[in-house]
Each structure stands twice: as C-alpha cells, then as structure tokens.
Amino acid sequence: MNKFPVPTWRPTIVPTSDWIVERLRKYLHGAHFTLFENGSCVVWPSFERLSDGDCKKRLLSVVAHHPDFKVRRHSSGDFLVTFRGGVGGVMSGEILKKNESILRAEAFAQGNLPSEILTAQDNQSVADVELIAGLYVRAQLYRDVESQIIVKIV
C-alpha cells in the first residue's frame, strides 16, 4: 500500500454503524453508498453500482492527495463531512456536544497531518466545532483506508 502522512488521532468515542447508516440515508437523500468499518462512506454515482475495489480506490484517492473536507451542519445538530470523489462521513452532534472538551483536545493535539498546524480559537467558535467534526471524520477515513473493511452496502 502507498505511504502517506496520517494523523495520530484514532477516535474511540464513536456511534454505531446502524446510527451512521440511518443518518447517511437521511442526509444523502436515498443515494446508494458503501459503508466502511470506521464510518467512512463512498456514495455511488446515480444509477451506477461501484464495486468494492472501486470504493477502496476512492478512499485511497482522498488520502493520496491533500484531504480537504467540507462540513455541513444539519438542523439535527449532526455534521455531514465530505471529501472529493463522493467520499464522506457523519459526526454525531450529540456525541460532539457531550464530549466536546475531550474531542477538542484530541482533535487539536492529534488530528493534524504532519504538514498541518492547527490552532484552537480561544472563544471556541462555531468554526472550531465544524473543524473538530471534520478532523474526526477525516481521522476515521484514514482508519478505513488502513483496514479497508466494508460493513454495509446500502
């Protein structure tokens, strides 16, 4: 497998895969997707089924380049985090709210890539919460690239 920089963060506070599937079905408006062990998903293009190998290649493609992400907060408080190539994941707003101080500390201490410098805002702004959600989902993505275990096809 290719070598690429990885964050040291390996989140341990995680929702169940059933919770993730339920939320992704809602937030992806019924699109089909492949779910990996740590919560990363690959959304299938309209009317096209992706093979397991194609989904694994899409995950690898994200981390082989700079893995920029986009974070969208939903009215439920959850965060949908997307990367290039139809790859993404979801962060529970409830988990983040209940564990914010722990997740904040872990994200800013261990969620960066070797070439990144992350700084927390003193006022703990909304942007920081979105950054924590993005770093959380990205850390899980790296775990999924490593394990490549598919748990569900939805």
> pLDDT per residue over 125-144, tens digit each?
657 899 999 999 999 999 99
What is the chain's mean pLDDT, rounded? 89
Asked if the model's pLDDT at residue 1 lies above 50, the reply is no
**What is the 3-class SS of the chain, one letter each residue?**
CCCCCCCCCCCCCCCCHHHHHHHHHHHCCCCCEEEECCCCEEECCCCCCCCHHHHHHHHHHHHHCCCCCEEEECCCCCEEEECHHHEEEEECHHHHHHCHHHHHHHHHHHCCCCCCCCCCCCCCCHHHHHHHHHHHHHHHHHHHHHHCCEEEEC
Q: What is the pTM of this model?
A: 0.90
For residue 113, what are its two tokens? 């890539």
Q: Write out pLDDT tens, residues 102-117.
A: 999 999 889 888 776 6
Q: Which residues pair with 91 in a beta bridge?
A: 79
Question: If you average pLDDT over residues 40-54, what whole number do you get?
Answer: 93
